[in-house]
Amino acid sequence: MREEKAEPARIVVLISGSGSNMQAIAEACQKQNMDAEIVAVISNRPGVPGLERAQQFDIPNEVLDHTSFATREEFDINLIRAIDEHSPDLVVLAGFMRILTSEFVRRYKGRLLNIHPSLLPKYKGLHTHKRALEAGDKEHGVTVHFVSEDLDGGPNIIQAVVPVLDDDSETTLQSRVQIQEHIIYPIAVKWFTEGRLTMLKGDAYFDNQALPESGLQLNH
Ligand code: GAR
């Protein structure tokens, strides 16, 4: 949990691509919907659109190219160094497509959030929209969760449920899910920065109440 502080909460956002979730959080900070500031955006890939978006918001941004490091461990040690330069209260994974080492996850335990495009624990990993369509699911969605050492694991905070339509393609489903991503991620970040969200012994708490396995659910 974040302690009450006079200064705005310091957020470091990690991206690998488009950065639209980072932008949604930056807009919420800009509109003063929350007392927080993105102090840095770090991408593991050079030249991605998310870096340009960060520039448009005057957010300091940098690249730490994972291909420059021999091992995952070496990359993560350098990533920790780069993040800690900014003394963050919260680290936000926003389309950061890297498997993280346990050392990394342990370092930011309880202040590391991720967004994943499925109703976790369903469909961890890649191609979530395709898998939901192939399974004939009537509902799909997106989850914001605290990060644990398991891939796309850790207690859920909030989910948005999106109906699957008969004529949905991967693209149409993905774009409807992404609209919800841009709503729920700023909400979760705001709750965290207000000190209302905590992770304790592997469970997520909101206003000191344990959250259900799904997290809080928004239905659309
Ligand atoms: C988002 O759809 C997010 O849910 C997904 O990557 C996309 C990034 O978009 N994340 C994962 O799949 C994590 N396992 P963005 O770069 O425009 O925010």
Assigned architecture for domain 1-108: 3-Layer(aba) Sandwich (3.40)
pLDDT tens-digit map of 8-35: 999 999 999 999 999 999 999 999 889 9
Closest CA to 184 of 115, 112, 118: 115
pTM for the model:
0.96
Pocket of ligand 1 contains residue 215 by CB under 6 Å = no
5: CA distance to ligand 1 center in Å? 30
153 CB within 6 A, ligand 1:
no
Q: Residue 85: is its pLDDT beyond 80?
A: yes
Is 141 a pocket residue for ligand 1 (Cβ < 6 Å)? no
* Burial (Cβ within 10 Å: 0-12, 13-18, ≥19) of residue 145: buried
What is the set of active-site residues? 116
CB of 176 within 8 A of CB of 182?
no
Domain boundaries, the chain: 1-108, 116-220
pLDDT at 1: 60
Please give the number of the atom of ligand 1 that sits closest to the Cα of 19.
16
Common-topology check for domains 1-108 and 116-220: yes
| Level-2 CATH architecture, domain 116-220 | 3-Layer(aba) Sandwich (3.40)
207 phi and psi angles, rounded to 5 deg: 50, 45
